[in-house]
Amino acid sequence: MIKLAIYGKGGIGKSTLSSNLSSAFAKKGLTVLQIGCDPKADSTSLLLGGKRLTTVLELVRAGKPFTLEDMVTMGSMGVLCVEAGGPVPGLGCAGRGIITALEALEEKGAYEVYKPDVVIYDVLGDVVCGGFTMPMRKGYADKVYIVTSGENMSIYAAANIAMAVENFKTRDYAQLGGIILNRRNVRDEDAKADTLAADFSTEVIARIDRSELFERCEAEHKPMVELFPESKEAGQLLAAAERILN
């Protein structure tokens, strides 16, 4: 089983990328479990036709017994979807939803029942403390992939996340798997991404072009490899999935 966590600056396209990678893995015949670790609970929207899932935290707060099937919904191309959820805005700890969700999935035997080949944790923004480090901890993700563009704030956030991953090495947390460049067509962005990768002794494992096809996919609530399977962008996503597998 390959277990990876996707981190990056808020708004950089982590959820879009996570859903498209999930679909790319599924297209290769793999069983994929995507776990949204953002209080907004919109990580899996692209895989569910825009539908919003009942989150694990909502099930827990209801105070009634619930099953594994209540937490996990099958989405586009057979991808298994879970949303951790979070507190009412301004109240409680957002990271608690991640901890609760991952513990509940383990308790209900999700990994034994579904036997996923790939698990993707889509984690909120560049927060790398408290519950937001949960997917990095031993037994969860093995590798962290950081999404960035060439914009300065995105590079800065990516560097902070990479430093956190480095600092957590001593705790036997996940290792840095690489950088994913989500192009925004800014000046020197490939060079900036390469420099960032070199600074942390890793590689840019994928370069995804900015394209209006992604906007069309968002409007249709379908992943690229399903809606535009022959496109250059779908090819880039499939190549990224292959690189991660290898």
With 0-12 / 13-18 / 19 or more C-beta atoms within 10 angstroms meaning exposed / middle / buried, residue 86 is: buried
8 A C-beta contact, residue 240 and residue 232 = no
Based on the residue annotation, tell me whether 9 is a catalytic residue of this protein: yes
Based on the residue annotation, tell me whether 40 is a catalytic residue of this protein: yes
How far, in Å, are 71, 101, 115, 119, 193 from residue 108 at the CA level? 10, 11, 13, 16, 40
Alpha helices (runs of H) in the chain, residue ranges in sequence order = 14-27, 56-61, 68-71, 95-107, 110-114, 152-167, 189-199, 212-220, 224-227, 232-245
CA 166 centroid distance within chain: 19
Active-site residue, selected from the candidate residues 3, 9, 27, 108? 9
8 A C-beta contact, residue 203 and residue 179 = yes
Question: Could you count the other beta carbons within 10 Å of the beta carbon of residue 121?
Answer: 28
Active-site residue, selected from the candidate residues 3, 14, 108, 192? 14
- Angstrom distance (rounded) from CA 115 to CA 135: 18
Active-site residue, selected from the candidate residues 27, 122, 126, 192? 126
Could you identify the residue written with the tokens 């880039």?
236
Based on the residue annotation, tell me whether 169 is a catalytic residue of this protein: no
Active-site residue, selected from the candidate residues 28, 40, 70, 142? 40
Based on the residue annotation, tell me whether 126 is a catalytic residue of this protein: yes
Give the catalytic positions in this structure.
Answer: 9, 14, 40, 126
